[in-house]
Amino acid sequence: MPAITRAARLPGRLVLAAITLKRAARPAMAAWLALGALAGALLGPCAAAHAADAPGATLPVVAAENFYGDVVKQIGGAYVSVTSILSNPDQDPHLFEASPKTARALQHARLVVYNGADYDPWMTKLLSATGSGGGQRTIVVAADLVGKKAGDNPHLWYDPRTMPAVARAVSAALGTADPAHKSVYDANLAAFLGSLKPIDDKIAALRAQYKGQPVTATEPVFGYMSDAIGLDMRNLRFQMATMNDTEASASDIAAFERDLRERRVRVLIYNSQATEALTRRMLGIAQQSKVPALSVTETQPAGVSFQQWMLGQLDALAKALAQK
Ligand SMILES: [Zn+2]
């Protein structure tokens, strides 16, 4: 299982790199940290624990997934420093295992955001291993906010209801941890909620045009978005097998192939982060049968915001659905 080992090690290195960069880019912050350490040496461990409260310091935040990290950055702005653990769109997040390096980032976090619904079970383990953060740590679990649990489709960030709920919870948590900037967090929350409108508009437009159209997918990553548009999503058992890294049954594979060969579906939604021989084979059959394929990712790609990422995928879906 070398692929799993690699997935477990790489993100840890990325986290460390992110922390190093942040320190290098913020000499003022480093100075405050040094002051805090000095105060700690003079006054004892209690004063050191409050170094993050010094003026000019940022609130340390850890997000298990980078799309939640992006939302925290959009709400917290200059007053937060965010470390996202899953941030590589070339790895399968379902195979991720945390390393001790991941745990280190969590130790000082004042706010922790993760998905839940068994998408990132390593977070629960890490959080219990790193203690309660001195009682100053707030934890936001997306699944709890939208009433989802283990066994439900865990790709909650594709549900248009999830990010507004996460953003509200993040804004409230930041306002409590740092009341001096509450008005900034409130204003950034309002701007964030407003910026989601083009996504909702695009979903409504697609729904008006394509509700009930049959599509299929290699993995359930886009499931909630597909439901919001009202598409008829086929081959769900095959998708669950891909997600859980188990074997799809012969009849489920045959049904999937038939849907593609006989062009019973308008689009194949292809998760480019969960690829194995069988899903690549389905992509090949779709190409032969001239069923348009839409490539989607679980993890937010570098250089785009959550909003740009979602809109880009919806635009690509519109193009794929428009093909005859
Ligand atoms: Zn997935």
Ligand 1 centroid–CA 95 distance in Å is 10
Q: Which of 198, 195, 210 is nearest to 294 (CA)?
A: 210
The confidence band for 223, taking pLDDT boundaries of 50, 70 and 90, is very high
Share of the chain above pLDDT 70, in %: 82
Q: Taking the chain, what is the end-to-end CA distance rounded to the nearest angstrom?
A: 41
Residue 9: its pLDDT value, please? 30
257-290 residue pLDDT tens: 999 999 999 999 999 998 889 999 999 999 999 9
Give the pLDDT band (50/70/90) at residue 184: very high
Judgement on whether residues 155 and 246 belong to the same structural domain of the protein: no
CA of 168 to the centre of ligand 1 (A): 25
CA of 221 to the centre of ligand 1 (A): 5
Query: How remote is the CA of residue 311 from the centroid of ligand 1, in Å?
Result: 19
- Secondary structure of the chain in the HEC alphabet? CHHHHHHHHHHHHHHHHHHHHHHHHCHHHHHHHHHHHHHHHHHCHHHHHCHHHCCCCCEEEEEEEHHHHHHHHHHHHHHEEEEEEECCCCCCHHHCCCCHHHHHHHHCCCEEEECCCCCCHHHHHHHHHCCCHHHCCEEEEHHHHCCCCECECCCHHHCCCHHHHHHHHHHHHHHHHCHHHHHHHHHHHHHHHHHCHHHHHHHHHHHHHHCCCEEEECCHHHHHHHHHHCCEEECHHHHHHHHHCCCCCHHHHHHHHHHHHCCCCCCEEEECCCCCHHHHHHHHHHHHHCCCEEEECCCCCCCCCHHHHHHHHHHHHHHHHHCC
Mark whether 316 and 252 lie in a shared domain. yes
Per-residue model confidence (pLDDT) at position 324: 73
Q: Average pLDDT of the chain?
A: 84
Confidence category of residue 8, pLDDT binned at 50, 70, 90 = very low
**Residue 55, class by beta-carbon neighbours within 10 Å (0-12 exposed, 13-18 middle, 19+ buried)?**
exposed
Same domain, 154 and 233: no
Distance CA 256, CA 72 (A): 39
Q: Are residues 242 and 191 in the same domain?
A: no
Of 175, 195, 215, the last residue of a domain is 195
What pLDDT, on the 0 to 100 scale, is given for residue 263? Answer: 98
Please indicate, yes or no, whether residues 146 and 29 belong to a single structural domain of this protein.
yes
Neighbours of ion ligand 1 (CB under 5 A): 221, 298
Instruction: Give 110's pLDDT tier (boundaries 50, 70, 90).
Output: very high
What is the 220 CA–ligand 1 centroid distance (Å)?
A: 6
Instruction: Give the per-residue pLDDT at 55.
Output: 61
28 and 112 both lie in a single domain: yes
Statement to judge: residues 162 and 237 lie in one domain: no
Mean pLDDT value across residues 47-53: 41
> Within this chain, do residues 237 and 89 fall inside the same structural domain, yes or no?
no
Number of independent structural domains in the chain? 2
Q: Tell me how far the alpha carbon of residue 116 lies from the centroid of ligand 1, in angstroms.
A: 13
Structural domain harbouring 23: 2-195
Say if residue 124 is in the same domain as residue 90. yes
Q: How far is the CA of 218 from the centre of ligand 1 (A)?
A: 10
pLDDT higher than threshold 80 for residue 238: yes
Question: How far, in Å, are 93, 132, 158, 187, 255 from residue 190 at the CA level?
Answer: 31, 30, 20, 5, 46
Question: Maximum distance among all alpha carbons in the chain?
Answer: 76
- How much is the pLDDT for 125? 87
CA of 175 to the centre of ligand 1 (A): 32
Are residues 203 and 191 both part of a single domain? Answer: no
The pLDDT value recorded for residue 54 is: 59
State which of 170, 195, 220 marks the end of a domain: 195
Going from the Cα of 213 to the center of ligand 1, the distance in angstroms, rounded, reads 23
Whether residue 188 sits in one domain with residue 202: no
Give the pLDDT mean for 82-101.
Answer: 88
Contact of 99 with 155, CB cutoff 8 Å: no
Distance CA 126, CA 11 (A): 15
The band of 316, judged by pLDDT with boundaries at 50, 70 and 90, is very high
- Whether residues 122 and 104 fall in one domain: yes
Q: What confidence tier does 53 reach under pLDDT thresholds 50, 70, 90? A: low
How far does residue 210's CA lie from ligand 1's centre (Å)?
24
Q: Choose one of 195, 224, 239: the last residue of a domain.
A: 195
- Helix 2-25 with 27-43: angle, nearest 10 deg: 90
The pLDDT of residue 319 is above 90: yes
CATH of the domain at 281: 3.40.50.1980
Task: Identify which has the larger pLDDT, 272 or 32.
Answer: 272
Structure tokens at 203: 């979903």
**Highest mean pLDDT of the ranges 36-45, 69-78, 80-89:** 69-78
